[in-house]
Amino acid sequence: MAGSAVRMKRIAVGVVTGWLLLAAIAPMLAPGAAEVPDDEGPTAAPATAESVRAGELLARAFPDAAGIPAVVVLRNPGGLTGNDLAEVRRISHRLTGASRPAGVRAVVSVATTPDAADLRSADGTTTMIVAGIDLDPADPALGGTVDAIRAIAGSGTGSLEIRVTGPAGVARDSVTVFRRADTTLLTVTIGLVLALLLVIYRSPVLAAVPLVAVGVAMAVTSAIGAALARAGLVGVSEMTASIGTVLLFGVGTDYCLFLIMRYREQLAETSQRYDAMTAALRRVGPAIVFSAGTVVVGLLTLLTASLPSYRSLGPYLAVSVAVMLLVAVTFVPALVLLLGRYAFWPLKTHARTVAASSLWGRVAAIVIRRPVLTVAACLAVLAALSTGLVGYRENYDAISGFRAQTESARGQQLLTDAFPAGRLAPTYVLLDAPVALHGHLDVVERVSAGVAAIPGVQQVTGPTRPDGTAPDGTAAGLTALAGGPGRTYLSPDGHTARMDVVYTDDPYEAAALDRTERLRRSVRATLTAAGLGSAQVMVGGESAAALDRRAAATRDAPVIAILLLGLITILIVALLRSLLAPLYLVATMVASFLAALGATVVTAVVLDGQAGITEGAALYIFVFLVALGVDYNILLATRIREETARHGTIDGLRLALTRTGGVITSAGLILAGTFAALMTQPLDTLFQFGFALAFGILLDTFLVRGLLVPAIVRLAGPAGWWPSRLTPPPPQPTATDPFPARDSAAPASSTITRP
């Protein structure tokens, strides 16, 4: 199909014109995908998770407690003064008045609820105002509401500091930070790719071709993605858009590089550029298609996940790669042909010859002579890097992942300095019974007492008897707030009771998540023992949501990994027509992933002091590294297979490694460089993802593809292609034969044709 675009000039003109028009018109018909809200945010638990159902029940039974909280923090290191408390009253009045910002539903502060002592720190320096915002997290209006709250609150005067944080503040800052960084990311990526292409091609025209191709693909992809997002078929978050940018630049320039280099190689055999491009497409096209196919398949396996953050990432990026593939095999060859000899200016179009003693010629000789030593050395390096996994831990705190100073991060720091860590994100317990709970408050209090007895729980707040006593007649030790503005613990119909639980430690740490799991078991056991087993128990809050995400990820990771490896293995079997070669190719990718993740743990957590590997990042790294890293193995393996069938195992391996060495190395440097650009983004997630991908791709480029895979091919010999039998024709040595049929390195005077 792609070949038809390069057989005649008028067809090539039509192809180039068609793509350029599509890139110009499509964005007008559908705005950019990044402008479409993503209904499934990166911190959303599965729809069936207990924390999600708890949130839904909370909204029904306690409407005033529902919504996304924005927390206004007021801190005076010398102690809150009368003027400071006047500021609390002013802000509370503005947020509850007729002109309050859109979506603000309930406001709780020491001004609206004077007996809410838990809103003021024990040292008297800090207080908070909690405003519930009744807007969907994906609603663009949420950002405007947070901005309005910040405008009302101000930043404080004198020694009083005021900051707006909470989930709403974090969400607003995330969007703002991403949008500010997008321009930087795009600039860094384009500059890096252009510099690398100029070094590789040594032609400004050829260097511009991949950038134009990526630009076309980005415009078309953004329009398609926006249309799919508006139809509710895909989700596009700010993080997805950022990753999509570097992914398109990375794979797009790689595909262009593979094609153009093979085209230059074919020009050494024919002076007809249309014939040369047709031959190049025929020979390298299948490898490009299968390489893109592995990436698309890898990304689509994320659709099998139960975790929304996994599902929302894959489809849009899969569409991006598919569009880039079409552009690479139609638009790029047509454009290069129309440019003619000017495409290579100031170079000539013919291929150059490189001595067999060149870098990759020497590497090939070493691999062929010392395959066992090469395999052992490569595995030792990979194993050493993998030891970094000993320090692996996950981080579920979104605010701690900011690498840039934000108002929400500053606000949380003020809260951390003044309140117990668990106050930042309380857990809540809901008891929903078929009977009214007014007559069963003793059972509710037994549940509260059981929760309070769990190690690590600092405070439990909930409904008590009218006299505020426990069943044994002693003081309950619980804050008895049966009502009050925004502080209701028993639903109007009396069937649902609510308890707020504050932990002593960080609610996002693994210990808090484990405690939440124990809390769930404890409450159910208490109700069963009290004869109220018919009541439904739900535990929600940030710790509960993180626990549910952890459980979903534990289920999703092996399913996606096994499915991805299985599908990629099938694709490679179909391409190479071999059952053994795909096994060691995929195995090397898994080893490379473990090494890259280990190096990331050491770099990000041990050396950089980050709180941990961001939740979900490990699976993202696995999917991308396996899907992208296997590209180079596919290109190398298909060339080895092609040359082995023509020259035999030894000379075929030497020829394939030498001819593809420079191309794959250049492609690997470009792909690694584009992902390294993500390290400029202001989030630990993207720093870790960018570092792991860049490091892993460099491992694949130089160690795995350059040494390990060729050495395994050398050791496996003809049996490695089983059940295929690659039988080369009888050798016909001539005076110009660059590869005499013998198991030794070619003499220094021999030459190898390559681009």
Q: Give the domain extent around 345.
A: 1-66+202-352
- 3-state DSSP call for residue 73? strand
> What sign results for the dihedral spanned by CA atoms 728, 733, 738, 742?
positive
Question: What does DSSP assign to residue 78?
Answer: T
Amino acid type, 658: T
How many Cα atoms sit within 13 Å of 34 on the Cβ side? 15
147-177 pLDDT, tens digit per residue, is: 999 999 999 999 999 999 988 888 888 777 7
CB 535 within 8 A of CB 431: yes
Judge if 260 and 243 occupy the same domain: yes
Torsion of CA 22, 28, 30, 32, to 10 degrees: 100
Q: What is the pLDDT of residue 8?
A: 67
> Does position 605 have pLDDT exceeding 50, yes or no?
yes
Judge if 612 and 687 occupy the same domain: yes
Residue 250: its H or E element: helix 238-267
In this prediction the pTM is 0.80
CB 223 within 8 A of CB 30: yes
739-748 pLDDT, tens digit per residue, is: 443 333 333 3
Judge if 43 and 87 occupy the same domain: no
Amino acid type, 242: S
191 inside domain: no
Confidence of residue 732 (pLDDT cuts 50, 70, 90): low
Structure tokens at 345: 């200016």
Residues in the chain: 755
Q: What is the pLDDT of residue 164?
A: 95
> Does position 34 have pLDDT exceeding 70, yes or no?
no
543 inside domain: no
How many Cα atoms sit within 13 Å of 390 on the Cβ side? 5
363 inside domain: no
Amino acid type, 547: L
| Orientation of helix 542-576 relative to helix 308-326, angle to 10° | 30
Torsion of CA 319, 320, 321, 324, to 10 degrees: 120
Judge if 654 and 723 occupy the same domain: yes
364 inside domain: no
Q: What is the pLDDT of residue 181?
A: 65
Closest Cα partner for 121 from 108, 106, 113, 110? 110
- Phi, psi dihedral angles at 357 (to 5 degrees): -90, 10
231-249 pLDDT, tens digit per residue, is: 777 767 667 777 888 888 8
- Cis, bond preceding 682 (omega within 30 deg of 0): no
d(CA 567, CA 565): 6
> Does position 44 have pLDDT exceeding 70, yes or no?
yes
723-726: Cβ within 8 A, 24+ apart: 723/578, 723/579, 724/576, 724/577, 724/578, 726/641, 726/644, 726/645, 726/649, 726/652
346 inside domain: yes
509-529 pLDDT, tens digit per residue, is: 889 999 999 999 999 998 888
Closest Cα partner for 164 from 95, 73, 67, 68? 73
Q: 8-35 in b/e burial notation, b at 16+ Cβ within 10 A?
A: eeeebeebbeebbebbeebbeebebbbe
Confidence of residue 185 (pLDDT cuts 50, 70, 90): confident
- CB atoms near residue 607 (< 10 Å): 9
- Phi, psi dihedral angles at 500 (to 5 degrees): -100, 135
Q: Of 305-314, 439-448, 602-611, which has the strongest mean pLDDT?
A: 602-611
149 inside domain: yes
Judge if 76 and 62 occupy the same domain: no
Of residues 447 and 3, more confidently modeled = 447
Judge if 62 and 78 occupy the same domain: no
128 inside domain: yes
Judged on CB neighbours under 10 Å (0-12, 13-18, 19+), 702 is: middle
d(CA 7, CA 753): 25
Judge if 492 and 559 occupy the same domain: no
> Does position 297 have pLDDT exceeding 50, yes or no?
yes
Structure tokens at 303: 């659709």
Q: What is the pLDDT of residue 753?
A: 39
CB 420 within 8 A of CB 493: no
End-to-end C-alpha distance for the chain, whole angstroms: 25
CB-based contacts of 541: which residues, under 8 Å, 6+ apart?
51, 54, 425, 426, 427, 428, 501, 507, 516
Judge if 51 and 127 occupy the same domain: no
Q: What is the pLDDT of residue 648?
A: 82
CB 59 within 8 A of CB 253: no
Question: What does DSSP assign to residue 707?
Answer: I
Structure tokens at 29: 């018909």
Residue 300: its H or E element: helix 273-300
CB 427 within 8 A of CB 51: no
CB-based contacts of 744: which residues, under 8 Å, 6+ apart?
365, 369
Percent residues over pLDDT 70 in the chain? 86
- CATH (domain of 256): 1.20.1640.10
Judge if 652 and 725 occupy the same domain: yes
- CATH (domain of 111): 3.30.70
Percent residues over pLDDT 90 in the chain? 30
Judge if 245 and 339 occupy the same domain: yes
Of residues 215 and 183, more confidently modeled = 215
Closest Cα partner for 447 from 344, 557, 535, 387? 535
Domain count, the chain: 4
Residue in this structure with the two tokens 């900011």, named with its chain if needed: 402
Torsion of CA 71, 77, 79, 82, to 10 degrees: -70
What are the residues facing 754 on neighbouring strands?
Answer: 352
Secondary structure of 428-473 in HEC code, one letter for each residue = EEEEECCCCHHHHHHHHHHHHHHHHCCCCEEEEEECCCCCCECCCC
Structure tokens at 165: 């944080």
Q: How much is the average pLDDT of 41-63?
A: 84
Judge if 467 and 574 occupy the same domain: no
> Does position 64 have pLDDT exceeding 80, yes or no?
no
Min mean pLDDT across 264-273, 287-296, 601-610 is at 264-273
Q: How much is the average pLDDT of 537-563?
A: 92
129 inside domain: yes
Judge if 381 and 468 occupy the same domain: no
